[in-house]
Amino acid sequence: MSTNFEVPKGDFRGHDRQFIWLAEPDPELTEVGPGTPCGEYLRRYWMPVAMTDQVGDLPYRIRILGEDLVMFRETGGQLGLVHLHCAHRSMSLEFGIIEEGGIRCSYHGWKYGIDGSILERPCEPAASRLKQGTCLGAYPVVEYKGLAFAYLGPNETVPPFPVFDTMVEEGDDMIPFLIESPCNWLQVMENAWDPFHTVYLHTKAVRTQFTDAFSVMPKIEYFSRPLGDFYTNTRRVDDIIWLRIHDQMLPSFTQNGGHFPLPEQSLYFGRCGLSRWITPIDDTHTQVIAWRHFRGDDDPQGLTNKDEVGFGKTDFYGQGPDRSYELRQRDPGDYDAWVSQGPKNVHKREHTAFTDRGVSLARRKLRKAIRKVKAGETLPQPTDIYSDPIPTYGGDTMLRIPLQAGKEDDELLKEVAHKVAEIYMAHDCFKGQERADKIRAALREYESSWS
Ligand code: FES
Ligand SMILES: [Fe+2]
């Protein structure tokens, strides 16, 4: 046994910093329940709430934005989403009976349509004074490629359902997934606004979780669009300048590039590997609901796996609790980062730095939007500005542009990032394949101007 009782010396500040255990989370950005400013803001947008393959012939109980709800597919095939408790005397409709046109409470038989209107009250006398009408809370649902989207805002302001261009691409196999995390929604969202963690967490910390090229420190440039932002991560990998482009559309939509990029040859306007929403369950539980995209030439190394994508799982590392605690400690992933920040991260204990520009920007924009809704303003919807499909930018472009004599490479990377972003944005007025073809042609021409 050691007999060395020498007390280590150093600037130990544990006691001085005990205030961090008393600091509170920021309620304005983190509280999502009914009546909260952030909750009201989030309720102004369509958001995915479930995977439709989970909605069978029984009512499906879910919790969204702190509200307990039941989703069901009436026998005619339409999805309904209603408050959990029957409007009569509150039996849970998770025990309801699904019928044509609606759901019936099994306690006294009240039947509701998908909009919550009362269709039948079989135990009441015909002369009962309670008029039939809408008294059960319900929300509209749109179903698309395995995901159910709902709008939990006021019925007077239901916006059109936004269709992004990456939702309707030909030759793209879109597979939905949903994974829960026991933490506040903002932590999960901020992970996507933080491009620098790919260098460390995903590559240098333990091992390469995706591809080695992520170990190169990127140059980041942010670009504002009428409805959201995108940013470019620009890296040099030998003669290739690799631009990885992220869409960041508040409140919760993001798209990133391919999952296993190999910057060895030119790639023009490669599209996103993931279309992802962060949907709060309540203040301390969150779900990532997304589509993984699978296209023929996306995966040169064969590292993707469609079979691994679905309810509670996906085919890239570290997105859920599907590993032993020891493995999570030895090789932590995104899930371990955002969940371990705590049930609700406390911003007052952080020391944000240069690499947190994206996170700081997101928080500022989010706060501003929340305050606008609180003040009664109407925020623009994607469909106010673009007709379907709405142009997005997420994906990878790789251009063969070698080091240029007499030019600082950092300067060159910045110049290329701005030019590529300009090319992307200049083609917003075109749609679908025509837009992609025109962007690709312009990128080829730009690349050839360097040879
Ligand atoms: S509690 Fe539902 S019908 Fe009575
Ligand atoms: Fe990550």
pLDDT of residue 110: 96
The position carrying tokens 């009914």 is 34
Reduced to 3 states (helix: H, G, I; strand: E, B; else coil), residue 350 is coil
pLDDT at 226: 81
Place of tokens 């009512």: 59
> How far, in Å, CA of 147 to CA of 50, rounded?
6
| Structural tokens at position 58 | 């029984």
Distance in angstroms between the alpha carbons of the first and the last residue of the chain:
69
Q: Which of 298, 53, 47 lies closest to 169 in space, CA to CA?
A: 298
DSSP class of residue 364? H
- DSSP state letters, 95-143: G-EEETTEEE-TTT--EEETTSBEEE-TTS-TT-SS--SB-S-EE-EEE
Predicted pLDDT of residue 388: 85
Q: For residue 2, give the 3-state DSSP assignment.
A: coil
Using CB distances shorter than 6 Å, the residues near ligand 1 are 86, 88-89, 91, 105, 107-110
Query: Based on the number of CB atoms within 10 Å of its own CB, is 438 exposed (0-12), middle (13-18) or buried (19 or more)?
Result: middle
The ligand placed nearest to the CA atom of residue 256 is 2
Q: How does DSSP assign 170-232, residue by residue?
A: TTEEEEEEEEEESS-HHHHHHHHT-TTHHHIIIIISSS-SS-GGGGSPPEEEEEEETTEEEEE
Q: What CA–CA distance (Å, rounded) separates 65 from 117?
A: 23
Q: What is the pLDDT along the chain (451 residues), one digit of tens a residue?
A: 667 899 999 999 999 999 999 999 999 999 999 999 999 999 999 999 999 999 999 999 999 999 999 999 999 999 999 999 999 999 999 999 999 999 999 999 999 999 999 999 999 887 776 666 778 999 999 999 999 999 999 999 999 999 999 999 999 999 999 999 999 999 999 999 999 999 999 999 999 999 999 999 999 999 998 878 999 999 999 999 999 999 999 999 999 999 899 999 999 999 999 999 999 999 999 999 999 999 987 787 888 899 999 999 999 999 999 999 999 999 999 999 999 999 999 999 999 999 999 999 999 999 999 999 999 999 989 888 888 899 999 999 999 999 999 999 999 999 999 999 999 999 999 999 999 999 999 999 999 999 8
Name the residue of 83, 85, 88 to mutate for ligand 1: max ligand atoms within 8 A of Cβ: 88
* Residue bearing the CA closest to ligand 1, atom 4: 108
Distance 385 CA to ligand 1 centre (A): 45
- pLDDT (0 to 100) of residue 126: 78
Give the pLDDT of residue 202. Answer: 95
| 82, 84, 91, 136, best to mutate for ligand 1 pocket (most atoms within 8 Å of CB) | 91
- For a substitution probing ligand 1, which of 85, 86, 99 has the most ligand atoms within 8 Å of its CB? 86
For the stretch 377-413, what's the b/e string if a residue is b when 16 or more beta carbons lie within 10 angstroms of its beta carbon?
Answer: eebebbbeebeebbbbbbbbbbbbbeeeeeeeeeebb
Given this model, what pLDDT does residue 131 score? Answer: 62
- Distance, in Å, from the CA atom of 81 to the CA atom of 61, rounded to the nearest integer, reads 10
Backbone φ and ψ of 180, nearest 5°: -90, 150
Going by CA atoms, what residue is nearest to atom 3 of ligand 1? 108
Q: How far is the CA of 123 from the centre of ligand 1 (A)?
A: 10
What residue type is assigned to position 62 of the chain?
I
Neighbours of 251 (CB within 10 A): 23
